[in-house]
Structure 1
Amino acid sequence: MKHYLSIPSPLGAILLRAEDDALTGLYFDGQKYFPAGAAGAASDKPPRVLAETAQQIAEYFAGERQRFTVRLHMMGSPFQQQVWNALVQIPFGEIESYGRLAQRLGLPLGTARAVGAANGRNPVAIIVPCHRVIGSTGQLTGYAGGIHRKAALLALERPAQSLPQQLELLDAAQ
Structure 2
Amino acid sequence: MGQRLSTTGVVLAAGAGTRFGMPKVLADGGEWLRRSVAALSDGGCDDVVVVLGAAVVDVPVPARAVVADDWGDGLSASVRAGVRAASGADFVVLTTVDTPDVGAAAVRRVLTAARESTSGLARARYDGRPGHPVVIARRHLPQMLDSLSGDDGAGPFLKARADVVAVECGDLSSGRDIDTR
User: Fold conserved (TM > 0.5)?
Assistant: no
TM-score of the aligned structures, taking structure 1 as reference length: 0.26
TM-score of the aligned structures, taking structure 2 as reference length: 0.25
Q: Which has the higher contact order (CA 8 A, sep 6+)?
A: 2
Greater helix share, 1 or 2? 1
Greater strand share, 1 or 2? 2
